[in-house]
Amino acid sequence: MGRIYKRGAVYWLKYYKNGKPYRESAKTEKETEAKRLLKKREGEISEGKIPGIHFDKVKFNDLADDFPADYRINGKKSLNRAERSVRQFKTFFDGDRVPEITTPRIQNYIEKRLE
């Protein structure tokens, strides 16, 4: 459940996910557009998605570059193994958007690696 409200001339949204309130500007002065955005956010929540975060824009390379960095920051001993794995994954998934990396594609990757 959510609601729209005005701050100045611009409409804002307030909605909840797991009891936590989220507030976001609708970036519009039109009430109908704000209502449409609120329904979209509520739909994302009902699908289990994080509202307003669009994973379809995230690329594999962005995640792959962050993975070894996390190992370095946290001082994990298997950093060399993580870097090797990322290099292998990049040969197959380089430049792909995250939603394009589906279970069948991962299975295809595994089959090719086993050959």
Which of helix, strand or coil describes residue 5?
strand
Q: How does pLDDT run across 84-93, given as a tens digit for each residue? A: 999 999 999 9
Q: How does pLDDT run across 41-73, given as a tens digit for each residue? A: 999 888 877 777 666 678 899 889 999 999 999
Q: Is 51 exposed, middle or buried (0-12, 13-18, 19+ CB in 10 A)?
A: middle
Q: How far apart are CA 22 and CA 15, in angstroms?
A: 5
Handedness of CA 102, 97, 66, 55 (dihedral sign): negative
The DSSP output letter for 43 is H
Tokens 């929540």 appear where?
45
Q: How far apart are CA 70 and CA 58, in angstroms?
A: 18
Domain residue ranges in the chain: 2-53, 57-114
What's the pLDDT score for residue 57?
Answer: 78
What's the pLDDT score for residue 55?
Answer: 65
Which of helix, strand or coil describes residue 65?
helix
Tokens 């995640």 appear where?
63
